[in-house]
Amino acid sequence: MQKYHTPLDLVRERSPERPVAFARPDAVAVAARWFQDNFRGDVFYAVKANPSPWVIETLFANGVTSFDVASIAEVELVAKHAPGARMAFMHPVKSRRAIAEAYARHGVKTFSLDTHEELQKILEATGGAKDLTLMVRMAVSAEGATYSLSGKFGVPAHEAPSLLLAARAATQGKMGVCFHVGSQCMRPTAYQAAMAQASRAIVRAGVMVDIVDVGGGFPSIYPGMMPPEMSEYADSIQRGFADMMVHEDTELWCEPGRALVAEASSILTKVELRKGEALYLNDGSYGSLFDAAHVKWPFPVKLYRGEGEEAHEVKGALKPYRFYGPTCDSLDHMPGPFWLPDGVQEGDYIEIGMLGAYGVAMTTGFNGFGDTETAVAGDAPMASMFGLAGRMIRTPRDVQEDDRKVVRLSRPKGAAGKKRRKR
């Protein structure tokens, strides 16, 4: 990948006709080190957030050597770019062939499940293996999450005890519980609440678990979404773990995706046409802007104009715009608002930030679009949970929202979590 100090340097060098995804490996490395230094357990990267080889290689080189995979393709990807890495197959519904191949060919021994049927499938596909680590996925409240993940997976509370007992009896290896509080969780105490739910199920089942996996949901910063400091999440999880009915050797795991990679990429798009406040771009919802269209997140943006040495970032008073992608589908619409200087015109370039998570990972080839170039940028992300940049890019909308509610731009670090006590 070619390296540039900033995306503007690429615009000065040439005028790209296709979208360019800018990789920032240093941002991945900083986030990886933060989780290792502050989360008191094992960190598994959720590959689905961004399966780019450079992401996997950067994480592995910076100490994140465990990966949450959801398909045999992700298993093979990790095996190729992080040889020797530990993998956990955390999709609760898998094909028999995928289970067998992951276990026999790649040495994957950790599998999640949320039904008795899936448990039986795992046992049969692995030939009745007794060295498995079986993780029971529990349904928990998604209150506090921007995007709930509670509807599709997770054993209900009243069914959990029997499944926990069955999983415990099925292996001579380890057994644990896992859950997901929802994507972009804005409330650190949601983890404590979920851990309390899991603890009650463990007590009702009368079993001891070897692992508690709090899943993902760790947030990043987007316009209009200012999460608490990341340290508050780590502290909340540690308090919840200390209160669980588990033994002193029980392991604590997490599966961050978005938080590890959101800051690490941006997309450079070209304006093909302007209609009033509507800008037609060469990337959209079938490309890297899925969340901008379907979750309606207004990502931070910058405007570049000109060619050669005359190219520059455009500053000035901001106004709201909406985006349309390059396909012929009317659903290819990103309502924003995206705050850019007045006077945007055809041929301008817009850099859309904070797209390291669920950006290039969601790209399709619909309508013949979706071909994205990748380059490396050496500048800081547009916002950061880890001190790489100012906490937030502020827009006129942020200022208006501040008139209606208090937004805490910084918080003192929470008290350290209690020491685990023996049960």
Integer Cα distance of 366 and 327 in angstroms? 7
Q: Looking at the predicted structure, is the pLDDT value of residue 295 above 70?
A: yes
Q: Which CATH architecture has domain 25-261?
A: Alpha-Beta Barrel (3.20)
Q: Looking at the predicted structure, is the pLDDT value of residue 297 above 80?
A: yes
What does the block give as tokens for 17?
Answer: 């006709």
Q: What is the mean pLDDT of residues 106-129?
A: 96
pLDDT value at residue 224: 86
pLDDT value at residue 402: 42
pLDDT value at residue 144: 58
Q: 338-351, pLDDT tens digit by residue?
A: 999 999 999 999 99
**Average pLDDT, rounded, for the chain:** 89
Residue range(s) of every CATH 2.40.37.10 domain in the chain: 3-21+265-402
CATH number of 3-21+265-402: 2.40.37.10
Cross-strand bridge partners of residue 303: 350
Are β-strands 333-341 and 318-324 bridged in parallel, bridged antiparallel, or unpaired?
Answer: antiparallel
Residue range(s) of every CATH 3.20.20.10 domain in the chain: 25-261
Percent of the chain residues topping a pLDDT of 70: 89
Q: What is the mean pLDDT of residues 318-331?
A: 95
pLDDT value at residue 182: 86
**Between these two residues, 225 and 30, which has the higher pLDDT value?**
30
- This prediction has a pTM of 0.88
Q: What is the mean pLDDT of residues 392-403?
A: 46
Q: Looking at the predicted structure, is the pLDDT value of residue 26 above 60?
A: yes
Q: Looking at the predicted structure, is the pLDDT value of residue 396 above 90?
A: no
Q: 151-177, pLDDT tens digit by residue?
A: 677 898 889 999 999 999 999 999 999
Q: 78-97, pLDDT tens digit by residue?
A: 999 999 999 999 999 999 99
Q: 227-237, pLDDT tens digit by residue?
A: 999 999 999 99
Q: What is the 3-state secondary structure (H, E, C) of the chain?
A: CCEECCHHHHHHHCCCCCCEEEECHHHHHHHHHHHHHHCCCEEEEEHHHCCCHHHHHHHHHCCCCEEEECCHHHHHHHHHHCCCCEEEECCCCCCHHHHHHHHHHHCCCEEEECCHHHHHHHHHHCCCCCCCEEEEEECCCCCCEEECCCCCCCECCCCHHHHHHHHHHHCCCCEEEECCCCEEECCCHHHHHHHHHHHHHHHHHCCCCCEEECCCCCCCCECCECCCCHHHHHHHHHHHHHHCCCCCCCEEEECCCHHHHHHHEEEEEEEEEEECCEEEECCCCCCCCHHHHHCCCCCCEEEEECCHHHCEECCCCEEEEEEECCCCCCCCEEEEEEEEECCCCCCCEEEECCCCCCCHHHCCCHHHCCCCEEEEECCCCCCCCCCCCCCCCCCHHHHHHHCCCCCCCCCCCCCCCCCCCCC
